[in-house]
Amino acid sequence: MMGSTVLIVLGVFLAVIILMLVFSNIRIVPQARAFVIERLGVYKTTWNAGLHLKVPFIERVVKSVSLKEQVLDFPPQPVITKDNVTMQIDSVVFCKVFDPKLFCYGVENPMAGLQNLSATTLRSIIGDMELDATLTSREMINAKMQKVLDEATDAWGIKVTRVEIKNIQPPKEIEEVMTKQMRAERERRQTVLEAQAHQEAVVSRAEGDKRAKILAAEAERDAQISLAEGRAKSIQLVYQAEADGLEALKNANVSETVLKLKSIEALKNVADGRATKIFMPSDISNLVSALGVAGEVLGIGDATKIDHSEKPRQAPKADPCLSSETSAEGVRAAVTTQKISADLEHQSRSES
């Protein structure tokens, strides 16, 4: 009875120990991580995310590796350019582990190795470039560094996804020279821009003056053409009116008595003491000639001297179409029309 009890206790004890060993060797690998497993000191396998059971006392987890992309910000490194200028350049490397086994057994300290490799690669690339090219060729430097680092870290199980130059710090004296150079370049651009603006302003002003003169000449030409057309039209209308008047007089069948009366009225306008010759109708001329001969024989009559001065003209009537808002060309055209009308009227009186 006693022996059976002891056996039961031992069995329970062994079961508890076995359960404790089982539960203690259960491993749950989180997402984006990997466990490197060794069996008796030799690499056995790599556990990915999930539930795994480790053999107790034989297998062990050597290293837990993160599979996420990592950002490594390395401190500034002194580099020398091709033209012997020492600068401080710091870089940022983006990488991730693609093979946990190589990452665990490829190099003793992968991140320290990557940092040293980045520094030496950066010095090698900058050493083949001059200062100006270094400051303006960040994309090329980044691409070269990524290519070299990615090829070199393949044996370490690391994939370099991106490399960025964070900061380039040249010496103080170089910064001062660059500042002066930048200021001189900006002043040169300002001078060039001012000269170009002045040139464009002069050219635009000259073109504007040229265009204004052309427009003024065209306006003067159009005004002269319009004025000449107005004169021609005015003369045409005057003669047309006279022709229409004569035609109307012809069609009116005026009697001889009316014609004589009109002749006497015309004679009154002609005989104003200025004409040297006067043409009169035959019936009136006979009477006047007889009276004139008798007056000369008897020594009587008015011996008025002939006035050879120019016959005064009546002032032209004001044009009702003119106003204070009428342009100079309009006033000139109105004055010309009045002169033409006065000349035609004077000519008609002279001919009559």
Q: Give the Cα separation of 192 and 272 in Å (integer).
A: 84
Q: Give the Cα separation of 197 and 185 in Å (integer).
A: 18
| pTM of the predicted structure, to 2 decimals | 0.49
Q: Name the band, by pLDDT with cuts 50, 70 and 90, for residue 144.
A: very high
Q: What angle do CA 239, 240, 242 make, to 5 degrees?
A: 65
Residue (of 267, 288, 289) closest to 279 by Cα position: 267
Number of C-beta neighbours around residue 122 at 10 A: 23
Average confidence (pLDDT) over 83-112: 90
For the stretch 264-312, pLDDT in tens is 666 566 555 555 555 555 555 554 454 444 444 445 444 455 555 555 5
For the stretch 210-236, pLDDT in tens is 888 898 888 888 888 888 888 888 888
Task: Tell me the one-letter amino acid at 11.
Answer: G
Question: What backbone torsions phi and psi does residue 153 show, to the nearest 5 degrees?
Answer: -95, 5
Q: Give the Cα separation of 251 and 255 in Å (integer).
A: 12
Hey, is 83 helix, strand or coil?
coil
Residues 106/59, Cβ–Cβ less than 8 Å: no
Task: Tell me the one-letter amino acid at 346.
Answer: H
> What is the token pair recorded at 299?
């020594």
Where do we find the tokens 């060039």?
A: 192
Average confidence (pLDDT) over 315-338: 63
Hey, is 195 helix, strand or coil?
helix
Instruction: Give me the sign of the Cα torsion angle 39, 42, 44, 47.
Output: positive
* pLDDT of the residue at 36: 93
- HEC per residue, 115-151: HHHHHHHHHHHHHCCCHHHHHHCHHHHHHHHHHHHHH
Q: Give the Cα separation of 56 and 53 in Å (integer).
A: 9
* pLDDT of the residue at 148: 92
DSSP letter assigned to residue 88: E
